[in-house]
Structure formats: C-alpha cells, structure tokens
C-alpha cells in the first residue's frame, strides 16, 4: 500500500488529471494552487460531497463514483452559466487500496478530460469513504444564471428528459431484473449524468438570467427558483419530457419520477418567450429543451388546472 505522498503522486499528480486547464500557474505539490484569471471574468465556485452509504453504495465501481462526483459538481457550474476551470478533491479513504485508487483516478481523469478541467489540489485522509469536490469556473463580469432571476411571464423550460435516474434507482433495488436496452439506458442516466455546460453558457450569452440544475427533483428545484425569485409557476404535466425508456419501464410511476425524482442533472431555466422563439434551435442543438409551463405573479406551483403541486424530493436531515 502506498504512503500518503506516494499515493498523491501516483494517482492525482498525473498528466491525465492536471493538464487540461491553461490558467493553472501552480497545481498539485505546493501549499496552495495558483490560477491566472482573465481580467473581465469572475471566479465562480461550488462544492459537493458524496458519502458512501448515502450517495452511493460503498462497493460501487470507483471509476463510476469518480466520474459522477465530478459531473454533479460541474452541473452546478452549468446551472450558473459558468465555464469550468479546475477542481480540488477532498478524499477520505478507509484504506489505500491500489486497485480502488487506480480505477478512481482513471474515472476522474476521463471526466476531467471530457470537460477540460484540471485537478489542482486537495487533501487525503483516512476514515469512512467520502469524496468532496470543489469546482472553479469563470463567469463574464455582470452575468450569471441565478435562482432569483425568474420574472413573471417567462417560460419554464427543462433540458433533456426527467425521471430517468430515479427510475434507475428503482431498478437497482431489484437487481434480479434482466438488463434490457431500456433499463441499460436508465442506469446510464444515473451513473453518467451529463453536466449541461454548453447549454448553460449558451443561455447566459442569449440573455437568460435564471437556471437551476435538477438534483433533487423538478418540483423541489423549481420550488427554489420560485422562492428565491418571489414568483409562482404553472406547469403543464402533459408537456413534461419523458423518455421512451421511462414510459416503458414504469408506466404508472413515470410522471411521479419526472416530478419528484432526483439525480437527472438536467437544467430548469426560465426565458422570455421572444428569446425562446429566437434561439430555440441553437439551444436545442446542445440538448433538446422543452417548455413545460410559465412563471406567474401568484406564489406557489400548480398544474395547468390550478391544482397545487407539492414536492417530495430528497432532503438530508429532514425528519420522516
């Protein structure tokens, strides 16, 4: 088993992980990392922790855990409209297993390369398995997709399809289920979330002001937008984008999964209708986007008929 410094050198201070960001002046190996920032941009950063037994099974494939950990952090940058720069890694391990670290490092490197971000530092400790990442990104001065940016009359739009990752979790609870192409597609959505970075940056460029990434379910996350923006919304349940795989695998619960299922990491954003009409094609070139409702002045979230919609997304610390 490698010692702490050998471990860092072997698995984290390596070309596959630290050669993706030109703005890194000094990366892993010193007391701090140093970045060179363009004058007209702002630094934007976010942190997420994944704990074994809470966010993933301790025995899960380390490469998938690593990819997912970086992807969900990058998803927060996407939801601000930021372009990713680099990240740091706080890793707590129950033991220094070469096999585990090799796979974890390779998975992390693959995801880092896919999005052009470098690992620039971190901390490594002994304890129950947990992974904390902080991602850094750049935003043009003055702009951001904020939760408090929704305005009355704007369309509520979501990217991709909703509910797939939650349906995958259902499947994982019944491991005997045969792996059909539909089921494989749903599992892929859970294991390999796609941070919608290009869409977020495109939204910011065309003048959008509000987005959130859907990690806890559409109703819960749209609820955050409504609360922070002091507005309400009506959602047309018939308009929700559901994948064919979701409809086929859980026809009775598809709508519930799309409304309350977490882990999709799609973007939910608001946009004035003329901007949508003008830019829908270029936005949908990144990922299909679907208008599902409209922001209104009256607080609360309802369906098209005005019946209240109540979130039941996952919350840590909430007494059940």
List, as residue ranges, the binding site for Mg(2+): 31, 46, 48, 76, 123, 213, 216
Q: How far is the CB of 125 from Mg ion (least distance, A)?
A: 8
Between 7 and 145, whose beta carbon lies closer to ligand ADP? 7
Total residues contacting ligand ADP (rule CB under 6 A)? 13
x-or-dash pattern for Mg ion, window 172-201, by CB under 5 A? ------------------------------
Q: Judged by CB under 6 A, does residue 31 bind ligand ADP? A: yes
Binding status of residue 123 toward Mg ion by CB under 5 A: yes
No. of helices (H) and no. of strands (E), the chain: 11, 12
In the shown chain, the binding pattern of residues 103 to 122 toward ligand ADP, with x for contact by CB under 6 A and - for none, equals ----------------x-xx
SS3 35: strand
What is the distance of C-alpha 225 from the center of its chain? 16
Provide the b/e sequence for 101-113 (b: ≥16 CB within 10 Å): bebbbbbbbebbe
Bridge-based pairing state of the strands 24-26 and 34-35: antiparallel
| Contact predicate 293/234, CB 8 Å | yes
Q: Where are the alpha helices (DSSP H) in the chain?
A: 4-11, 15-18, 62-80, 98-115, 164-172, 181-191, 197-206, 218-229, 244-249, 254-260, 273-286
Contact range with Mg ion by CB under 5 A, out of 17-25, 119-127, 151-159, 178-186: 119-127
CB of 8 to Mg ion, least distance (A): 10
CB-closest chain residue to Mg ion: 123
Residue-by-residue DSSP string for 120-142: EEEEEEESS-EEEEEEEEEEETT
**Nearest approach, Cβ of residue 2 and Mg ion (Å):** 16
Q: Cβ of residue 74: shortest distance to ligand ADP, in angstroms?
A: 17
CA distance 175 to 184: 12
Q: Which does 8 bind (CB under 5 to 8 A by kind): Mg ion, ligand ADP, none?
A: ligand ADP
Q: Which residues bind Mg ion (CB under 5 A)?
A: 123
Q: Which residues bind ligand ADP (CB under 6 A)?
A: 8, 12, 28-31, 89, 91, 119, 121-124
């Amino acid at each position: 088993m490698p010692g702490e410094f050998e471990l860092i050198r072997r698995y984290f201070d390596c070309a596959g992980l630290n050669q993706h960001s030109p703005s890194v002046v000094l990366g892993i190996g010193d007391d701090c990392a140093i970045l060179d920032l363009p004058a007209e941009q702002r630094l934007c950063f976010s942190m997420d922790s994944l704990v074994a037994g809470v966010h993933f099974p301790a025995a899960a494939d380390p490469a998938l855990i690593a990819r997912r950990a970086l992807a969900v952090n990058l998803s927060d940058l996407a939801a601000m409209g930021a372009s990713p720069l680099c990240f740091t890694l706080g890793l707590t391990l129950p033991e220094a297993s070469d096999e585990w670290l090799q796979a974890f490092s390779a998975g992390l490197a693959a995801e880092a390369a896919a999005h052009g971000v470098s690992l620039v530092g971190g901390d490594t400790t002994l304890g129950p398995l947990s992974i904390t990442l902080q991602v850094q990104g750049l935003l043009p001065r003055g702009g951001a997709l904020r939760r408090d940016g929704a305005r009355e009359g704007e369309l509520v739009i979501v990217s991709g399809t909703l509910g797939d990752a939650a349906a995958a979790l259902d499947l994982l609870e019944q491991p005997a289920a045969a792996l059909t192409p539909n089921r494989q597609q749903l599992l892929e959505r859970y294991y390999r979330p796609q941070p919608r970075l290009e869409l977020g940056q495109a939204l910011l460029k065309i003048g959008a002001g509000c987005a959130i990434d859907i990690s806890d379910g559409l109703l819960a996350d749209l609820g955050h937008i409504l609360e922070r923006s002091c507005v309400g919304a009506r959602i047309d349940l018939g308009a929700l984008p559901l994948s064919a795989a979701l409809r086929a695998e859980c026809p009775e619960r598809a709508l519930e999964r799309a409304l309350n299922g977490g882990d999709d990491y799609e973007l939910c954003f608001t946009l004035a209708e003329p901007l949508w009409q003008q830019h829908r094609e270029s936005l949908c070139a990144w990922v299909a986007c679907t208008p599902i409702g409209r922001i209104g002045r009256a607080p609360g979230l309802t369906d098209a008929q005005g019946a209240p919609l109540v979130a039941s997304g996952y919350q840590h610390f909430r007494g059940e």
